[in-house]
Structure 1
């Protein structure tokens, strides 16, 4: 199914808890001196000190900030490289990552396009082959684009007949994209190049050109910090310069609105989906491409009001199918015939207890992807919604894909879980036959690890689910072990089972991993999301604290060996709960976090987040934000866990100033002997596009740090107990 709208914020992996008995002399750290200014502003009658505001300056343009980054990194690197288990974790993460992996194929014009990484390549390559049995041919190799591997192939889309391939390039982890085109037959790049695309879809209009979204070119030196306004949709015709691109849709009178374009697979209709923030509340407009010569880019309203979520499934002629939560908090499938005398939405599949995440039309069937308690299952129905069959997915995991065309019964999907990487399957809906397309060979036995789901009770009595992953050896022993607890809890994002080489290295070493499905996410629809945002944000922190207490009380986590981790909105989560319950955790890893809740809306995409956080310039919202903002609520004199903050110099999603200021405040305060360090990656952003080498280094640093403070000790016995011969990780 095609998805429309802005995707802001992403999450990452782990984090921690309690006593420094394993740290020894390594806890005696001399932090760099950081200048404290006397910046004080009065907001709604309260004086708010911001002594480290100068650290908001862009590291590329401020020599003082660059010097601070260099000095902090030197201290952190000295500490992390001296950790006794770092080298072994690095080796094991590399081993768990060293397997051939494929992306889900996309079919166009009889050719199949897919990504492939041999294992340790910094970036996946893009291949094409004619027919399923054709010889693979390399089309794009991002590994040749930059010496440090930090220039990535982001998204890509073949034209409808497979003549061209449109792709976006991500450099240094930035959210900005460069769009380019390659001739599929010859493999030669075209001269076409589009810049300043961001949060864009890639949608072909026949073979003549494509629709994309872009912002105005930022002022000199402001590309990585200035707010994003006036996004517009343009049409680029193949063979022309960007300055000749046609404006398709914009709202200059409403510069805060963003717009993304999709084109139905038959090329008949273009759909413009507009959003205001991160909420899944959209307006939709339709452009009839067959009438373009007469009407131009005439966008006719289809859905108005920014009230509900509308996810395009597919179109055929003038008929459209959508998944929506209009009058259905857990989503339903609806359709509309634009040529009907009275065009109205008709319900095809009613709302159920499970969440309808996405849908696709393959051949003459509907493929519906549902989520139950944060795990996937799929169903195949007739186009009228009549009863079909359930697609069997073994075990607790996540299914994705199911892209296809009306009239073509072929589709591909992936299935993954915590203990097995993604396997790719081909399904023929006409025959009902499912066959493996790519099943990775691993250096371990997935069956040696057990995935279970437990439910715990939060502070207000709410029942919250959590996945717990351990080796069978550890689970059978029924003894508490060092445990990593991960959470996110925001922006309607659902955390579902997925594979991580870093997590596997932790599990192999004898630790446990837990993932809590906190309120604020999308695991149970709109009500679950609403229960964890704005004035309800404290519920997210209460859920995470309750998850930690549950792990300790149930004898899963050691009392002095619980670690927490979260990224982006999850980094905010870690910072907030450490302030509220520093006694519960031995270690904490806060990655690319939103740490200053009174100024988050002043940089890049931050203005979008007011949907979840509220507005700092409104008194009621200010009071809520002030109460939990990690930067403003550090508890002088409390005994804090060991804290590792991570960020990157090119993060233009959550600007690194958040982490810089938070770390400076941590290091200035009297919080006990445990370390408060920051790891600042260069030529990296919010997370996507990170080369394999950098991912391995970061994972080793995090695990070694957490292991040091939770008491996890690598042993030959642990490795031997979990390891096995290479095996196909088939669910």
Structure 2
């Protein structure tokens, strides 16, 4: 058993309430006292886990995979080049680079470096992390580069010369903030950022959109739109197509409600679409809309989760000319929507098990659809699609099939396999099994498990169950060379639960476990855990669980409710103190998912599962491994800090690790990610292996 956390905490009172929390000082992210606590916990945890016999091999294998030159360099199509962001041993903080299509087709293409982030970090003495780029089309000669200190969501923005491969000295620059920015034209930006007092929402995001002209101070930018301080965020974006440009201004009233306005000829025009609808862009002068609730419009009843195309010009006049492109069934739901110049690529999630692509085209006033001849029985993901041609790249993978990259030149062309990831572990010794558990209210909950063919159905196999269950996020089959090489190869099994709160079966699957129904996510996960034990895959002594962010809340909640089911818990970048979550960083933006703790009626159901409040001195819990990062400016690291400290003060041993970089993730460099990943798997091996 590892050394107990922070001896000084052991003598502190544990009678914490929402009004009198003795661990609230740990919310002071960078305070000397809090960071001293973090350093001590990191030292204690690393002392145990890095000295575990298998740590060195697990870490080295993980880093080898993360730095491997055989990984796929995923391309972004822009103006005759393929762009890529790449990290390896030579470029620890990564390089933004490009190559030609001809060169990319080679096994080892030559790349032209546009920006070396480590070089910039050393020059400016900043721990820069690359956060993306917006290149101005169709000339593609200037760009807005986004950089984060330590990997957080807040970024600085700088204008970049694509020909000189250098920042423009007197170009556009924005200070660090959770900025939303888009090119209106070469000399004008649409900006939402921290303009000063009153310019941010209670969630810490912009509540104003301004038009900023080149050569003028930001303070003189013209206000285009302003939302309310209680909104989640306000922003604007420009979609460029071969036909014309479209400008949208949005007001995010809540996480699931937004009001959209078109910005045409300097005027804002409200769009008559449901507040709960999602937009998937504009294609052939049609606005692509997915209503999250049944929508009666233009004499049609459109099911929630459908994809509809609205004639844009008619919509500007307040009229609805509606074409239904996809309607969900009981098991088939809508996935991502991407577009090239002349085709929509629509991903359909089939039965919660695998994906298909549909191609939709619009010609001579009519829509047509056909299935795309993509590989079957796996997960499909569009990597890049070109707005100025019909080229697009996509990947295919499954739990035991390595990811491969495919290329489509145009609809009538044969799809070509361009690259493939090597099999970093031998999949032949494993099989995927599909099951359904029955939740507390009788709902059938699908889950899958990758299990050794030689494994005994006597509960002896170390088994890791992963879940999320929130924000309509779907968990789809994926190939993880690291997990396969370090967990499966060491005798483990891996299961994924498709619980309610996710989006695997459309909006209703999510809605079933939101706010006052959130407990259903936890009931579902418990049911899957019990089913794994019932089938003999695992036992309470060999079952571990893992989740991050909302998934961290998930594993925290079920551990408080059913600690007897689990031997190991990896709780990453979690929400845990649900009494204060809305007061910490972006937490207020999630009240549409969880509810408002300051509302007595809503706190009445939140407090029933909030892990920080449910923790008891008198119950026996597994030794939970809490993980977070100091620079997470989305989910406050105080959640993990306080929970670990409170458990330690109650006499419950825990593990704790906090990376000082990484944002809402595991690190910025591959070395940081490798360490974070390795200590998680070593913890699981230590706790679950006999």
- The SS at the match of 1:609 is helix
Unmatched segments (≥5 aa) in structure 2: 105-109, 296-301
Pick from 86, 99, 121: which aligns with 1:129? 99
Quote the residue 2:387 is aligned against: 405
CA deviation profile, 1:297-336 (whole Å, cap 9, x unmatched): x221114662x222233244x5433344444222222221
More displaced, 149-158 or 566-575?
149-158
Between the aligned partners of 1:592 and 1:69, the Cα distance in structure 2 is 14
Pairing of 1:467-478 with structure 2 (within 5 A): 467-474=448-455
Partners of 2:253 and 2:259 within 8 A in 1: no
Unmatched segments (≥5 aa) in structure 1: 1-25, 43-47, 713-731
- The SS at the match of 1:652 is coil
Pick from 112, 117, 121: which aligns with 1:142? 117
Quote the residue 1:276 is aligned against: 253
Between the aligned partners of 1:688 and 1:260, the Cα distance in structure 2 is 30
Partners of 1:99 and 1:441 within 8 A in 2: no
CA deviation profile, 1:526-577 (whole Å, cap 9, x unmatched): 2111111211111111111111111111122244110011111111111111
- The SS at the match of 1:94 is helix
- The SS at the match of 1:557 is coil
Pick from 690, 694, 701: which aligns with 2:672? 694
More displaced, 453-462 or 699-708?
453-462
Between the aligned partners of 1:666 and 1:612, the Cα distance in structure 2 is 27
Q: Is it true that 1:705 corresponds to 2:683 in the alignment?
A: yes
Q: How far apart are 1:698 and its partner, in Å?
A: 0.8
CA deviation profile, 1:28-84 (whole Å, cap 9, x unmatched): 646432274698768xxxxx65222222223x2x22222222222232222222322
Cα 1:149/1:644, change in 2 over 3 Å = farther
Between the aligned partners of 2:211 and 2:72, the Cα distance in structure 1 is 31
Pairing of 1:634-713 with structure 2 (within 5 A): 634-671=615-652, 675-687=653-665, 690-711=668-689
Quote the residue 1:396 is aligned against: 378
Q: How far apart are 1:374 and its partner, in Å?
A: 5.2
Cα 1:238/1:189, change in 2 over 3 Å = farther
Between the aligned partners of 1:512 and 1:218, the Cα distance in structure 2 is 52
Between the aligned partners of 1:624 and 1:495, the Cα distance in structure 2 is 26
- The SS at the match of 2:473 is coil
Partners of 2:178 and 2:205 within 8 A in 1: no
Quote the residue 1:728 is aligned against: none
Between the aligned partners of 1:144 and 1:467, the Cα distance in structure 2 is 44
Cα 1:170/1:282, change in 2 over 3 Å = same
Pairing of 1:146-165 with structure 2 (within 5 A): 146=121, 151-160=128-137, 161-165=139-143
Q: Is it true that 1:310 corresponds to 2:310 in the alignment?
A: no
Partners of 1:312 and 1:322 within 8 A in 2: yes
- The SS at the match of 2:130 is strand
Quote the residue 1:6 is aligned against: none
Cα 1:305/1:337, change in 2 over 3 Å = closer
Q: How far apart are 1:282 and its partner, in Å?
A: 2.0
**RMSD of aligned C-alpha atoms?**
3.0
Between the aligned partners of 2:89 and 2:443, the Cα distance in structure 1 is 42
- The SS at the match of 2:680 is helix
Partners of 1:99 and 1:440 within 8 A in 2: no
Quote the residue 2:35 is aligned against: 66
Q: How far apart are 1:689 and its partner, in Å?
A: 6.0
Between the aligned partners of 2:228 and 2:552, the Cα distance in structure 1 is 34
Q: How far apart are 1:425 and its partner, in Å?
A: 1.9
Quote the residue 1:385 is aligned against: 367
Cα 1:527/1:425, change in 2 over 3 Å = same
Between the aligned partners of 1:595 and 1:503, the Cα distance in structure 2 is 26
Quote the residue 1:376 is aligned against: 355
Between the aligned partners of 1:248 and 1:564, the Cα distance in structure 2 is 47
Point out which structure has higher relative CO (alpha carbons under 8 A, 6+ apart): 1
Pick from 151, 154, 159: which aligns with 1:181? 159
Between the aligned partners of 2:584 and 2:679, the Cα distance in structure 1 is 29
Quote the residue 2:227 is aligned against: 251
Partners of 2:279 and 2:287 within 8 A in 1: no
Partners of 1:257 and 1:274 within 8 A in 2: yes
Quote the residue 1:595 is aligned against: 576
Partners of 1:196 and 1:216 within 8 A in 2: no
Q: How far apart are 1:515 and its partner, in Å?
A: 1.2
Cα 1:125/1:374, change in 2 over 3 Å = farther
- The SS at the match of 1:565 is strand
Partners of 1:469 and 1:514 within 8 A in 2: yes
Between the aligned partners of 2:177 and 2:65, the Cα distance in structure 1 is 35
Q: How far apart are 1:665 and its partner, in Å?
A: 1.4
Cα 1:228/1:118, change in 2 over 3 Å = closer
Between the aligned partners of 1:206 and 1:494, the Cα distance in structure 2 is 36
CA deviation profile, 1:122-176 (whole Å, cap 9, x unmatched): 3442222345447631112223233699522112222112112322112212110
Pairing of 1:438-449 with structure 2 (within 5 A): 438-446=419-427, 449=430
Q: How far apart are 1:516 and its partner, in Å?
A: 0.8
CA deviation profile, 1:219-258 (whole Å, cap 9, x unmatched): 9xxx9x9851543233444566544544333225765543
Between the aligned partners of 2:182 and 2:348, the Cα distance in structure 1 is 26
Cα 1:693/1:217, change in 2 over 3 Å = farther
Quote the residue 1:723 is aligned against: none
